[in-house]
Structure 1
Amino acid sequence: MELPAYDLKTLFDQLGLPSEGNAIDDFIEAHPLAPETKLIDADFWSPQQAQLLKEWLRADGEEAVMVDELNVRLHRGK
């Protein structure tokens, strides 16, 4: 049985955010995070989105890798 593949598109789909075309890059450029702001504490997440991010981080699998990638990109702004 093949395991599900996780990527930023999957993460954005689960968060209920646009994920087609340049939507992910556009979101990241529009929501840069200050170095001291934790990803899950960003003010642009709904409570449900923040909870999903926390759950995926705790899963410590492919899901966590995608959340980490998003975290790095939001802190770099690209």
Structure 2
Amino acid sequence: MDTTPQDLSHLFLQLGLANDDEAIERFISGHQLPSNILLQQAPFWTASQKHFLAESLSEDAQWTEVIDQLDTLLRRA
């Protein structure tokens, strides 16, 4: 069983991104999404990041809740 905490910091780590609070806030501020683009289809993800997000969402995996949280944050403009 995976005991990795499911929070934004660890999601960013899973995605290979800087995961300190400041880096997360910069990423969110600089990557706002329009409502017509699915999170996993955003142009700023790499192919492996898109795959991780899409697979996690389709399988209702342990990361789904925090991915949904990120999705909301990327649309707050």
Q: SS of 1:48's equivalent?
A: helix
Distance 2:12 2:2 in 1: 21
Higher helix share: 1
Q: SS of 2:33's equivalent?
A: coil
TM-score by length of structure 2 reads 0.88
TM-score by length of structure 1 reads 0.87
Calculate percent identity across the aligned residue pairs: 36
Q: Contact 2:28–2:73 (CA<8 Å) still a contact in 1?
A: yes
Alignment partner of 1:50 is 2:50: yes
Q: Give the aligned partner of residue 32 of structure 1.
A: 32
Q: Shift in Å at residue 39 of structure 1?
A: 0.4
Distance 1:49 1:9 in 2: 15
Q: What residue ranges of structure 2 are gaps of 5+ in the alignment?
A: none
1:8-46 superposed Cα distances (whole Å, 9 cap, x missing partner): 111100110001131111100000001111101100000
Q: What residue ranges of structure 1 are gaps of 5+ in the alignment?
A: none
- Give the structure, 1 or 2, with the largest relative contact order (CA under 8 Å, sep 6 or more): 1
Cα RMSD (Å): 1.7
Q: Contact 2:8–2:70 (CA<8 Å) still a contact in 1?
A: yes
